[in-house]
Amino acid sequence: MNVIGQKIKKLREEKGITQEAMALQLDVTQSNYGRLEKDDRRLNVVKLLKIVRILNTNISYIFNETENSNVNENANLNNTNKEVYDILIESLRSEIQHLKEEINFLRVIVKS
């Protein structure tokens, strides 16, 4: 079930933002962005963080059923947001480490 993509679509439409505008800000094509809303398995941490920033919402809103989706720009992260943020950051760090390992592997192959 595509719960995350549906929430992103709902928020985008509520804020009057087109798929084209989202795609432009995410540096993807409109059709690629449309697929993100239809198949949330295509989302990665970087895109998700950009979408949350564009839509001015809480990360926790995307994952939970909370009603308040707007972010006060001066507000500190509450505990739930911080936990979700920490998980996403750790996931991104893991992805970066994996890419570094792949680069090192490819360097060894090229040198051989």
Dist. CA 49–CA 112, nearest whole Å: 39
The model's pLDDT over 49-85, given as tens digits with 9 standing for 90+, comes to 899 999 998 887 887 755 555 555 434 455 656 666 7
| pTM (2 d.p.) | 0.61
Cβ partners under 8 Å of residue 19, min gap 6: 12, 30, 33, 34, 37
Among 51, 89, 53, 45, which Cα is nearest to 73's? 53
Dist. CA 104–CA 97, nearest whole Å: 11
Cβ partners under 8 Å of residue 34, min gap 6: 19
Which fold would CATH assign to domain 3-111?
Answer: 434 Repressor (Amino-terminal Domain) (1.10.260)
Dist. CA 66–CA 63, nearest whole Å: 9
64 phi/psi in degrees, rounded to 5: -120, 180
Does position 87 have pLDDT exceeding 50, yes or no? yes
Q: Please tell me the predicted confidence (pLDDT) of residue 108.
A: 93
The model's pLDDT over 17-45, given as tens digits with 9 standing for 90+, comes to 999 999 999 999 999 999 988 886 778 88
